Structure 1
Amino acid sequence: MERLNVWAPRVLSLLRIIAALLFMQHGLMKVFHFPAAQPGSPDPLPTLLLVAAWLEIVGGALLALGLFTRPVAFILSGQMAVAYFLAHFSKGFWPALNGGEAAILFCFVFLYLAFAGPGELSIDAQVRKRP
């Protein structure tokens, strides 16, 4: 078990990076139609979705780099909570039926990162190490 504990900060970084890159895709699909247009996304985007898309792109990039991890993760966690209740909850209680599983998962992964921090492979960790 002790051998696994040594890897925990690196695996935390891996969780942060993968979650951030997956999250960024949603914004990139809304704004740049990359790697494809997001299914069901209106064109042009209403203001609320445009703000959400840029939060996904910029916030995802900052999280991937591990820069300002805690405040960015907290903001993105809140964004996903709002997104769940605005876009999914009205379609039914069960996330598997209302399409909200990703929003809930991102919400709680980001909430965890807000408390756990970025892990050792991050700009935040490098800045902390400087004398």
Structure 2
Amino acid sequence: MSEADLPASVDAGLLLIRVLVGTVFAAHGFQKLFGWFGGGGFGATAGWFASLGFGNGRAAAAMAGATEIAGGLGLAVGLFTPLAAAGVIGVMTVAAYQNATSKGFWSAGNGWELNYYLIAVAFGLAVSGPGGWSLDAAFGWVVAGVGPGLAALGLGAGLGTLRWVTRDRSTAA
């Protein structure tokens, strides 16, 4: 079954998930980089990343914010979906490590539960594909299935883990 053969209800469901998750995820990037939507902006975000051991924090803030915007908007419009999913997974992997270090799993204690859900949604979209109501489908670029999903998961989780383990723990608060 191709993307063109999916029932309209599946396309609608995938669109709803992509738009709601993707736009909110992108908004977090706009908070980090520009201070929009009540965010701290670039300087505050860079300071926070510095406190976590990411050097002066500027590169980490730029990378996280840009990845959140590109990954979120990519999911929302269904463009390069596995790559967008990998971006979401990568950022959420770093966030999960940060939250898991002292806060446990449950969101009630600011744990990594929400990070887990966003990783699962991104992985699911990479596996299922964006649906027929997406730019990938419009351009004939749909790449989906278990292989692309696992590639997105491996790329995102791998790069997120690499970024986490290479921070300077001696300066982390």
TM-score bucket (shorter structure): 0.7 to 0.9
Unaligned runs of 5+ in 1: none
CA offsets 1:74-102 (integer angstroms, 9 cap, x no match): 232132122211x2001232222134333
Higher relative contact order (CA 8 A, sep 6+): 1
Structure 2 vs 1, CA of residues 36 and 11 (structure 1 numbering), >3 Å: closer, same or farther? same
Q: Which runs of 5+ in 2 are unaligned?
A: 1-6, 47-56, 142-173
Q: Does the residue aligned with 1:12 lie in a helix, a strand or coil?
A: helix
Amino acid at match of 1:119: G
Q: 19-28 or 90-99, which moves further after superposition?
A: 90-99
User: How many percent identity over aligned positions?
Assistant: 29
91, 102, 112: which one aligns with 2:102: 91
What does residue range 42-121 of structure 1 map to in structure 2 within 5 Å?
Answer: 43=44, 45=46, 46=57, 47-85=59-97, 87-96=98-107, 97-121=109-133
Task: State the 1:69 CA deviation.
Answer: 0.7
Indicate the residue corresponding to 1:33 in structure 2.
Answer: 35
In the superposition, the TM-score normalised over structure 2's length comes to 0.63
Matched position secondary structure for 1:121: coil
**RMSD of aligned residue pairs (Cα, Å):** 2.3
Q: For this pair of structures, how many residues does the alignment match?
A: 123
Of 15, 18, 26 in structure 2, the residue corresponding to residue 16 of structure 1 is 18
Scaled by the length of structure 1, the TM-score of the pair is 0.81
Q: 1:70: how far off?
A: 1.6
